[in-house]
Chain A
Amino acid sequence: MKGVVFTEFVDFVETKYGLELVDLLFSNCQLESGGAYTSIATYDVKELLQLVGELSRQTDVSPSKLVVEYGRHLFRFFARTRASMMSHLSSCEELMASVENQIHVDVRKLYPDAELPSIKFERVSDLQSKVHYQSARPLADLAEGLILESVVHFRDPITVVRKDLPPGDGCIAEFVLTRNV
């Protein structure tokens, strides 16, 4: 997993819960990297799951909820720092349609070792579309957070309903996006 996902996670914890909790997480987790994250390096996704687990213990919030929340944070970060990648897009659906073939393609140019999920966009009707998430990593919650925040970003009147698909390990999920009339 690219370092940016880790540095932003640390930023997320610090903003939301403070520096002491960040320090506590690192002290309790015994991470291989020691928590000295830099955005240009690559780390094992297990460290992220370890940190999330510990954060959940410390805060009594479920890991799932935490990752969704983190996804929102991450989207805001991308929207801020990679604004140029999204500036030509005007809706949540357009964004979802271009992740697979454009945004993540550009990500891979910057980081040839990036481990990216497959994000398939499918328009069902004028008002409805589907985003299909599939990955080798169980990060459907992260995808959910990213999608939810993109709705906010574009101020789209859209309701997102998530459906977990078998085997239910968080590696495959479907999001139904419906426009409210």
Chain B
Amino acid sequence: MPDGIYQRMFEREREARKRAEELLESMSLELFAAYTQLKKSSEELFTIFRSVTDGILTFDSTGIIETLNPAVERIFGYANEELVGRNIAMLLPNRELEFPLDDSFWLNRCSEVQPKFSTQGLNAKGKVFEMELSVSRASQAGREFYVWIVRNTQQIRSIERKIAVSQRLEAIGQLAAGMSHEINTPIQYVHENTKFLRDAFEAMESVLSQVEHHLSSDPTEEPSTLSNRFRELFGGNRLAFFRTEVPRAIAETIHGSNRVTSIVQAIKEFAHPGNNEKTALDLNHAIASAITVSGNHWRSECEIETNLDPNLPMTLCHVAEINQVILNLLINACDAIVENPMQASRPGKIVIKTWHEAEFVKLSISDNGMGIKRENLDRIFTMFFTTKAVGKGTGQGLAMVHSIIVEHHGGNIDVVSQPGEGATFIISLPQSL
């Protein structure tokens, strides 16, 4: 066989090898890039999985726990290795689960409309707690498994309670400036009147000491001369002026200090954190207090008219919470009046009414402010919904009002509004038996 053939064959083989090496090199580069990318995205996913605050847990159709994130460890108080390989039933109190799971048990309780449901969990310390669960079924490479997303609602509730307290303190904070003014005004005229009484007393004191002096200096003096002197002493208008003004100043001072006392009392009632017990409350009294505390807030903007049912039954409630409700509604009404572009042509007015109907005690607060746009009516009770300028509203007021009335008291709240004309909030509370 001629040499040329082997020469050419050798050349072709060498070319082929070079080509193959090039290709392998670029493939391994691609592979490396793909691997790096994959690693990065799986690390990202893993970080998300580990850092979410909701618990994520998977188990197979026989209930054996396969994976879980640190939130599950926190919620149930077990370490990862104490759960993996064990049965999911250990996380549920008094519940005998049958495996394979009957889908209707979990999945029917989770739908698109209602993706989660409330149930009870059992933690490592044997404590039963409220949790919110969403369950879904997943399959990977033909293997079926279940995914739990768990949230400890008890913890959330306690956070909500803290927000509630801070919201109340904030409502009071908003009023603080106004309240100091409320107290300052009567204190000021108590102060003025007391100064006046001091002057009056000095003047009278000088008359009295002269009288004393006359009486003791010359016992032989003619009674007529004496009475002349006294007439002189009393003659100036000054004494007559004091005799009419002092009782007025005293009355005003008493009124002023009463007013301070009642304001302080109202503030105390409002700021009082309240205990967990419900107590009987006279709603009319609570309204009067709220009007007092918030006086400085509304006085320059509008007038408040009350139409209170004198035979209003008591209502059993958390007093501090109901105070907060009234205050929030009152401040909202006042804000609506201030923000009303028509305010100049229409004096602001808030009307507060109480009445009773069947087993309910009712309260309405109406204002003639800017009203609520139709598209916002559904949203005003949502947490953090506000139309107020940055730094003004936080959108927590009505959300708190709603949860206090509906959830804590089994009551009801309604709102009617004609945009541009005003708004009325109506509250029903069950009356105490």
Chain A residues in the interface with B (C-beta under 8 A): 19-20, 22-23, 26-27, 34-41
B1, A36: Cβ atoms closer than 8 Å: no
Using known A-B contacts A41-B19, A41-B20, determine if residue A36 contacts B13 with beta carbons closer than 8 Å: yes
| Inter-chain contacts of A22 with B (CB < 8 A) | 9
Partner of A35, one of B12, B23, B24: B12
A36, B19: Cβ atoms closer than 8 Å: yes
B23, A40: Cβ atoms closer than 8 Å: yes
A38, B23: Cβ atoms closer than 8 Å: yes
CB closest chain-B residue, reference A23:
B5
In whole angstroms, what is the CA distance A13 to B15 when docked? Answer: 20
Using known A-B contacts A26-B12, A36-B12, A36-B13, determine if residue A19 contacts B20 with beta carbons closer than 8 Å: no
Using known A-B contacts A19-B9, A26-B8, A34-B15, determine if residue A40 contacts B20 with beta carbons closer than 8 Å: yes
| Inter-chain contacts of B12 with A (CB < 8 A) | 26, 34-37
Q: A141 CB to closest chain B CB, in angstroms?
A: 26
Interface size classification for chain B:
10 to 19
A-B contact pairs, 24 of them (CB 8 A): A19-B1, A19-B5, A22-B9, A23-B8, A26-B8, A26-B12, A27-B8, A34-B12, A35-B12, A36-B11, A36-B12, A36-B14, A36-B15, A36-B19, A37-B12, A37-B16, A38-B19, A38-B20, A38-B23, A39-B20, A40-B20, A40-B23, A40-B24, A41-B19
B195 is an interface residue with CB less than 8 A from chain A = no
CB closest chain-B residue, reference A27:
B8
Interface centre among B1, B13, B14, B16 (most CB of A within 10 A): B16
In whole angstroms, what is the CA distance A38 to B24 when docked? Answer: 11
CB closest chain-B residue, reference A22:
B9
In whole angstroms, what is the CA distance A22 to B11 when docked? Answer: 14
Q: A18 CB to closest chain B CB, in angstroms?
A: 9
In whole angstroms, what is the CA distance A73 to B414 when docked? Answer: 86
Q: In B1-47, which residues have CB < 8 Å from any A CB?
A: 1, 5, 8-9, 11-17, 19-20, 23-24, 27
| Inter-chain contacts of A27 with B (CB < 8 A) | 8
Q: A146 CB to closest chain B CB, in angstroms?
A: 25
CB closest chain-B residue, reference A42:
B23
B9, A36: Cβ atoms closer than 8 Å: no
Q: B128 CB to closest chain A CB, in angstroms?
A: 51
| Inter-chain contacts of A20 with B (CB < 8 A) | 1, 5
In whole angstroms, what is the CA distance A142 to B9 when docked? Answer: 26
B5, A38: Cβ atoms closer than 8 Å: no
| Inter-chain contacts of B27 with A (CB < 8 A) | 40
| Inter-chain contacts of A37 with B (CB < 8 A) | 12, 16
In whole angstroms, what is the CA distance A26 to B12 when docked? Answer: 10
In whole angstroms, what is the CA distance A35 to B10 when docked? Answer: 12
In whole angstroms, what is the CA distance A169 to B33 when docked? Answer: 42
Closest 6 interchain pairs by CB? Answer: A36-B15, A38-B20, A36-B16, A38-B16, A36-B12, A23-B5
| Inter-chain contacts of B13 with A (CB < 8 A) | 36
In whole angstroms, what is the CA distance A4 to B256 when docked? Answer: 106
| Inter-chain contacts of B11 with A (CB < 8 A) | 36
4 additional A-B residue pairs with CB within 8 Å, beyond A23-B8, A34-B15, A36-B19: A19-B9, A23-B9, A36-B15, A38-B19
Interface centre among A22, A34, A36 (most CB of B within 10 A): A36
In whole angstroms, what is the CA distance A36 to B23 when docked? Answer: 14
In whole angstroms, what is the CA distance A39 to B17 when docked? Answer: 10
| Inter-chain contacts of A40 with B (CB < 8 A) | 20, 23-24, 27
